[in-house]
Structure formats: C-alpha cells, structure tokens
Amino acid sequence: MPNVIIGQSGGPTAVINSSLAGAIKAAKMYGIPKVYGMHFGIEGFLKGDIIDMDDYLHDLNDLSLLKRTPAAFLGSCRYKLPEPEDNEEVYQRIFSLLEEYDIEYFLYIGGNDSMDTIKKLHDYARDHHKPQKFMGIPKTIDNDLAGTDHCPGYGSAAKFVATSMTELIADNESFGASDPRICIVEIMGRNAGWLTAASVLSDDSDCDGPDLIYCPEVPIDLDKFINKIKELIQVKKSIVIAVSEGLRTPDGKLVCELTDAYEFVDAFGHRQLSGCARYLANLVARETGIRTRAIEFSLLQRCSTHLASRADVDEAYNVGFIACEEAIRNNSGKMITLHVRSREPYVCDYQSADVHEIANVEKKLPLHWITRDGTYVSREFINYVKPLVIGTITPYYAGGIPKHMSLKYSKVRHDESEMME
Amino acid sequence: MPNVIIGQSGGPTAVINSSLAGAIKAAKMYGIPKVYGMHFGIEGFLKGDIIDMDDYLHDLNDLSLLKRTPAAFLGSCRYKLPEPEDNEEVYQRIFSLLEEYDIEYFLYIGGNDSMDTIKKLHDYARDHHKPQKFMGIPKTIDNDLAGTDHCPGYGSAAKFVATSMTELIADNESFGASDPRICIVEIMGRNAGWLTAASVLSDDSDCDGPDLIYCPEVPIDLDKFINKIKELIQVKKSIVIAVSEGLRTPDGKLVCELTDAYEFVDAFGHRQLSGCARYLANLVARETGIRTRAIEFSLLQRCSTHLASRADVDEAYNVGFIACEEAIRNNSGKMITLHVRSREPYVCDYQSADVHEIANVEKKLPLHWITRDGTYVSREFINYVKPLVIGTITPYYAGGIPKHMSLKYSKVRHDESEMME
C-alpha cells in the first residue's frame, strides 16, 4: 500500500493540528505504511524537507496532545505554485519526490490559496496520467472559503474574540462617569467580516457586547463614525467598538493605510495590515477628548488553542480524517466541506467540493446580515455562528502552563552564571 | 453589629472579584448585617453611590460566579484622596456617610495608590477618635507592592503572559527559513518588570521561551539591541522578544515616547503607555529588513479571567476574607500580606503590614534576578514565580462563552429590522 503525506499551509489556526491528527488517525486505521509530513508546507517539500510522523507520534496520547497544540506543528508556508507552463521543473520535482517516497495520497491543510496548490497538482496529475490523489482540508480563521457552510479554525477564533470581548467590555466598564472610556478592538479579516462579526457573541444578559461592529464589507464613513460615538457617549460611559483590520473608507482606501506603519507584502501579495484601530482611536481621542485605547487581538486570535472551541476541534479532526479516507478511496481534486443540516439542534455533515470552485475564491459576509447603517450584524448571523463556539477542550497543563507538541528548534541559552549586582 | 463596606480601586485584575467574594464571605460568616459596595471606589462613595450586595448575591453559587468574573464588579476609580489639611470636607463627607450607613469596617482592594487611601482614612480616624477600621486588600498585576512576597492579581496575569507567549512562539515558528520572523511583545509594568519577566515561564522542553526579555529596571541600549537580534537571526529564524511598556533608553527616555502616540495622564500622573513594542518593531524591521510584528497584550493580560491561576484566585479570596476578619477584630491601617514559607512544596501564609510602609512605595524586580546584559532573568526568579501560576479555575460557560456577574449598564439596542440589500 502506498504512503500518505500531509502539509500545512498559510496562517495557522487554533485547530490546524487537529486536522493533522485526524488525517494521521485515518492513515493509521487504513493501514498506510508511512505517514509523512511536509516541513514548512509545499515549499519545504520541494527542498526534500520531509518528516516521518512516526518519529514524533508514538501512541494515541500523542494525537491528543497534537490536537491541543497551537500553530502549524509541521511548519507552514505561503508559497504559490507556479503554473506548469511557466515552470514545469517544480512539478517534475514534486512528482519525482512523491515517487521516491512511494506517496500516493497528498493532503494539504489550508485556505483558498492552499486549495490553488491542490488544484494545480491534481490537474497536473490528471493531465500527465499520474496515480497520485490530492485532497484539500479546509482551514482558515477568516471563514472565507467557498463551498462550505463554515471553515475549521473559524469557530475557535470566534470563541477567542467573543470571550476576550466579554472580558474587555467588563474591564472598560470598570471606571465610572468621571472617567469615560472608548476602546477600539481590531480583529483579523482582510476582506471578510466573519471574525469581526463574531464579537457580537459577547452580547448577552451579562454583557452589552460591542456597541458598534464594522466589517470590511461596508466602508466606514469617518464623519458618521465620530458622530455615532458622540451620540453614544451621551448615554453610556463605556464604549467598545469592533473593527476589522481591512476596513476601508468610501473612497476605497484602507483605514490602516492612513497611518505610517511599516508594512510587509507576502508571496500572495497580501499586506500585513495593522493600525486600523490605532488610527481610529487617535481620531476619536482628538475629536472627543475622551480616553481612547486601541487593542489588536493580533496573532492571539489564531493561536489561542487554550480557548479552542470543542465543536471546531472535532470538525477540524473530522475533515482531516475524511480527506485522508477519500484520497485512499481514489478521490482527488476535492476539498472536504461542512454542511449544516440543522443549526438548532446543531447537525453537521461532511461532503466534498471541486477545488476548482474553491481555489482563490473569497466568501464574504452576506450584506443582508449587516445592518443598513453598517454598524452591527443581524440575529441570523448570530444563529449562524452560535453552534460553532460550543464546548471547550482542556489543555494539558504542567506547572500551570499548557503543554504542546513541538519539533525541535535551535535554542539559544542565556548565561545565568552572571547576574546583576 | 455594625456594617461593612468594600471598594475596588485602580486597574482591575483577573482576581480582584475573588477578593471581593472572600471579604463578603467573611462578613456573612461573622454575622455582619449589611455588606455594602462602593460603586466606582471611593470616588463613587463620596457621591453616595453605594450598593447593597444583597441585591446581587443570593447564595454561594453567586459568590462562585463572582470569583469567575473579570474586571472590577463594583466599578473602580483612580481617585487620590486629598490631604485632610487641604480639604477636610472630603473626610467629613466620608465619615458622615459611614455613620449614616452604620459602617464600621472599610475594606479597600487596590495597589499602592489605594493603600494611600487606607492610610489617610486610618490616620484621620485615629486623629479624630473615630471608631471605623480601615483595611487594605492587596491587588495589582504589576506585583510592585511592598511588604508582601507577591500580590494577588500577579499570578493570573503571569499565567496569561506565559500561556500566550507559548502559543505566540509556536505561531512565530510556523514559518521556515525562507520567511524569518521577529515578534516583539509588549507587557504591562511601568516601572517594575515582574510581569514582563514572567514570560520566561513559557521556556520549557516544548517551547524556546522568549529569546530576549527586557525589564524596565535596566535601560535598553538600542544599538546593542539591534546587534543582539542580528546575531540571533544567524542561528534561528523565529525570534520572540518580551519588552516592558515602561522600557527606557540609557538617557532616561521612555522608548514609547520616541513615538507620536496619543497619550493620557490619569489623576495619579500615570501616563497610559503604549507603543514601545511598535517603536522597536519598526526599528528592527528597518535595521534588519526582516518581517517584524509588534504585539501588545494590553488589557487582555489583566482581564483574562478565563485563564486565571487557581493559586492566585485562592490567595485573592483569602486576603479578602482575612482583611474583613481583621477589621472585625478591630485591626486598622493594615494591608494583608503574603508570606511564602516554602516555594517547593509551596506553603504560603497570611500576615499584615502597616499601610504607612506600603502606600506609594513601588517594589521592583531585584537587579540580581536580571542577567548582567539586561536581556534575561535568572533561575531564582523562575523559582519565585512558578508556584503562582499553578492550577486553573474553570469558567461557567453558556453557549460556549464564559458567563459573568454584572451590574446593569445602559444598553444601546441596534435596529435589526432593517438589514442591507
């Protein structure tokens, strides 16, 4: 029986390793002799940087620990495969490595950029009559993948955002009328507001929730924004606002580009955005004279596995498992998708979709789930997201700190022989 | 039997409400008829804004929920009591309110500024032969209170910092040699490096821990800092650095003041610092050309009750309980202190110290716990902090989001009848 290889690609999520664990479990169950990992995705694979998972995983407890491990255990990459006509050598290299390691099942955990990799490899194999099967495993905190109700990774990020919002709002309310405070919280999502919208889950009997929610699907009119805050501050002394990192003004400019922050552009042309909340906080402080704070959840919203949603962990595991199973059943060029038959009670099943319909497509938050003035989200959205954050997964603690699986990295030790004084 | 009043002051912590719960429990056990709360600390109290705790707490389950509630349940303030000779009216107002409500026991949960309040009220009562007793309950994430081994609030903030560091470091390591990354994490602590130093707890067999730790006790030489990073990047492609918000250059300037961030100064003359990591990240990016990210834990490090340390929750509860008990036993002008008889096994008991020796004093991280080059902390510090982060307290979840106790705030409802499209 041939072997399987699994890769992780793009930004990590809190549950990307659950999908890895699910795929490994399926491979073992089906008696696959060797489960390989790509060290740093397809980019590492191209360099022959291949991991034998048996070196790291010895029993089922190790799989449980892997599920509780944040970030990409195998390492990730942001490498865009060239078109075969532009650089066929890359493809020849990949397929020769697959043959060398007797790998027939190629699983890739990632978002819409990563599904582009699956699509290209599947098409190349098909066109060149290669036996290998290529399956995509969905992963993104942005929830912007087409063809699936929602995406593993999103539920845990949503749970982090909602939990932290609840705690932040309580903190912001701690000071009275003599010390009003405005807090602007920046949430990930370049073009899609799914994660910013999830901040609404903090709204319950014990918490006001955010006062305003600005998703990137609707431009922000800065004058109206300031007026809205001036109205709000008349009736409450604690204001908390959720904004997407990718928010734009009506003329199409990114709010964060109104600042002078140092910027990076990755291989897919994505800019590392930051500074939207900071810009707005400075603006609000100037315009209102009220103490205003900008908070960026930054990487915490995608790596806080200690707060992962159980529903999300399980679905991530299942899509990994099923993708491996489907490859073994000779399916290829597909991504496993989630289909919610019922939201209350929550019933979700798994199908698959052609990666050609998923690669490079971004699914945005439907406009009819955003209020007409663009400052809040609807009850339908709340019903959509609620089941995705249910349940918790308890980290394995040692010394009070969650423990994780880890490939070994070079460690620089500090000289502790010489202390001050 | 006379009544008790409890107030919360200064920046909240993850366990400030555990101290409130402990004090309430003691008052109930000793048969105190009424337990009052100051709404927004002494500042609210002066306006007669007084809460009857019986309106909010009905049984022991409510106390358990209160312990799991972030931020200051009663509301807090940053109000500095004037000297009696400058404004005796304030004192007359306070003591007349205490008499009006038949309050003899005054408990105040706070840091060194709040202990100044206890000191002044105790001294005024002593000088004017008033019967009221004033007791301080220690609280600060900064751990900078004198007279106590450590301070409730610190352990939970340290646990948040260490846990988030572990997760962030894993995330930062997710990308390979072709995509090196430097992450600079800003941690609270204006003048004391206790919390920044706690990032070292992420260092274990599964995690490198931060590569460099900069506490405010030692100035940062920016040239040496850049050289250090250039050396590190030769041997590892993921670098994570912990810096205190209050870091200064050798000429005494705050690193964050090298930026143009909008700033606030509170009643105690504290500036709201932010921008140290951002300044350093921009500097590193310019000097090395490597992708660099600034992360501020910001308010999350003090409000993340979902990640509170069990040891900290229990000690916070106990100091609240004992402060109330001591007031009933006619002690006054004291703050409850923690004394660690043994760190391994951990054995801690409770004493009290004169607030005159605590008010307005800041206890810094000992210099002999910082490496000579000012870039790391010692094994002794690790031994000091380790027992403080042990154990977890499970939030009460509903719908996957932690639930909290809350005083009611005005809620602005959004019109959901009109959706886009």
The ipTM of this complex is 0.94
Mutate to test the interface with B, among A47, A73, A154, A167 (most CBs of B within 10 A): A167
Q: What is the pLDDT of residue A419?
A: 62
pLDDT band at B411 (very low <50, low <70, confident <90, very high): very low
Percent of chain B surpassing pLDDT 90: 86
Q: What is the pLDDT of residue B224?
A: 97
Q: Cα dist. B136→A245, B20, B356 in Å?
A: 43, 12, 11
pLDDT band at B419 (very low <50, low <70, confident <90, very high): low
Q: Which among A72, A167, A285 is the nearest to B304, CB-wise?
A: A167
Selected residues 218-237 of chain A with any CB under 8 Å from a CB in chain B: 218, 232, 235-236
Q: What is d(CA B301, CA B328) in angstroms, rounded to the nearest whole number?
A: 34
* B365 in A contact zone (CB under 8 Å): no
pLDDT of A135 higher than 80 = yes
pLDDT band at B67 (very low <50, low <70, confident <90, very high): very high
Handedness of CA B239, B144, B271, B42 (dihedral sign): positive
- At A150-180, the pLDDT tens digits run 999 999 999 999 999 999 999 999 998 888 9
pLDDT of B177 higher than 70 = yes
Q: Does the distance separating the beta carbons of B176 and A77 come in below 8 Å?
A: yes
What is the side-by-side order of every strand in the sheet holding A3-8? A50-52, A35-38, A3-8, A103-110, A133-138, A334-343, A346-354
Mean pLDDT estimate for chain A: 93
Q: Which among A207, A375, A389 is the nearest to B406, CB-wise?
A: A207
Contacts of A30 (CB under 8 A, 6+ apart): A1, A324, A325, A328
| b/e per residue A25-57 (b: at least 16 CB within 10 A) | bbbbeeebebbbbbbbbbbbbbeebbbebeebb
Q: What is the pLDDT of residue B192?
A: 97
Residues of A whose CB is below 8 A from B305? 167
Residues of B whose CB is below 8 A from A415? 371
pLDDT band at B407 (very low <50, low <70, confident <90, very high): confident
Q: Does the distance separating the beta carbons of A171 and B262 come in below 8 Å?
A: no
Residues of B whose CB is below 8 A from A296? 295-296, 298
Taking alpha carbons only, the member of B199, B143, B235 closest to residue B376 is B199
Distance, in angstroms, between B332 CA and closest chain A CA?
Answer: 27
pLDDT of B274 higher than 70 = no
Task: Give the chain B residue whose CA is nearest to the CA of A70.
Answer: B167
Determine how many CB atoms are found less than 10 A away from the CB of residue B288: 16
Q: What is the pLDDT of residue A261?
A: 43
Q: Does the distance separating the beta carbons of A206 and B404 come in below 8 Å?
A: yes
Residues B89-103 have a mean pLDDT of 98
- At A277-326, the pLDDT tens digits run 989 998 999 899 999 999 999 999 999 999 999 999 999 999 999 999 99
φ, ψ of residue A347 to 5 degrees: the values are -130, 120
For chain B, helix (H) and strand (E) counts, in that order, are 12, 13
Q: What is the pLDDT of residue B266?
A: 47
Q: What is the pLDDT of residue A383?
A: 97
In chain A, CATH 3.40.50.450 sits at: 3-140+305-359
pLDDT band at B416 (very low <50, low <70, confident <90, very high): low
Mutate to test the interface with A, among B16, B174, B305 (most CBs of A within 10 A): B174
Residues of A whose CB is below 8 A from B399? 201, 204, 386, 389-390
Residues B229-237 have a mean pLDDT of 95
Task: Give the chain A residue whose CA is nearest to the CA of B199.
Answer: A401
CATH architecture observed for domain A3-140+305-359: 3-Layer(aba) Sandwich (3.40)
Pick among 3.90.1150.10, 3.40.50.460, 2.40.128.90, 2.60.120.380: CATH of A154-303: 3.40.50.460
- At B280-339, the pLDDT tens digits run 998 999 999 999 999 999 999 999 999 999 999 999 999 999 999 999 999 999 999 999
Q: What is the pLDDT of residue A137?
A: 98
| b/e per residue B249-283 (b: at least 16 CB within 10 A) | eeeeebbbbbeebbeeebeeeeebbbbbbbbbbbb
Q: What is the pLDDT of residue A8?
A: 98
Q: What is the pLDDT of residue B66?
A: 96
Selected residues 295-324 of chain B with any CB under 8 Å from a CB in chain A: 295-296, 298-300, 302-307, 309, 311
Selected residues 143-162 of chain A with any CB under 8 Å from a CB in chain B: 159, 162
Report the first-to-last Cα separation within chain A, whole angstroms.
65
Contacts of B360 (CB under 8 A, 6+ apart): B112, B113, B115, B116
Write down the catalytic residue from A52, A54, A59, A142: A142
pLDDT of A97 higher than 50 = yes
Residues B224-236 have a mean pLDDT of 96
Mean pLDDT estimate for chain B: 93
Q: Does the distance separating the beta carbons of A416 and B378 come in below 8 Å?
A: yes
Q: Does the distance separating the beta carbons of A306 and B43 come in below 8 Å?
A: no
Residues A28-42 have a mean pLDDT of 97
| Catalytic status, residue B260 | no
The packing angle between helices B112-127 and B88-100, to 10°, is 80
Residues B404-414 have a mean pLDDT of 66
The answer to whether B117 and B110 are in contact (CB under 8 A) is yes
pLDDT of B199 higher than 90 = yes
- At A51-84, the pLDDT tens digits run 999 998 888 789 999 999 999 999 999 999 999 9
Q: Pick the range with the lowest mean pLDDT from A191-195, A224-228, B266-270.
A: B266-270
Q: Does the distance separating the beta carbons of A292 and B420 come in below 8 Å?
A: no
* A290 in B contact zone (CB under 8 Å): no
The answer to whether B273 and B190 are in contact (CB under 8 A) is yes
In chain B, CATH 3.40.50.460 sits at: 154-303
CATH fold group of domain B3-140+306-356+390-398: Rossmann fold (3.40.50)
Q: Does the distance separating the beta carbons of A302 and B300 come in below 8 Å?
A: no
pLDDT band at B417 (very low <50, low <70, confident <90, very high): low
Determine how many CB atoms are found less than 10 A away from the CB of residue B292: 26
In chain B, CATH 3.40.50.450 sits at: 3-140+306-356+390-398
Selected residues 63-102 of chain A with any CB under 8 Å from a CB in chain B: 69-72, 75-78
Neighbour-count burial of B188, counting CB atoms closer than 10 A to its CB (0-12 exposed, 13-18 middle, 19+ buried): buried
Amino acid identity at B104: E
* B421 in A contact zone (CB under 8 Å): yes
pLDDT of B270 higher than 80 = no
Q: What is the pLDDT of residue B121?
A: 98
Q: Does the distance separating the beta carbons of B378 and A419 come in below 8 Å?
A: yes
* B392 in A contact zone (CB under 8 Å): yes
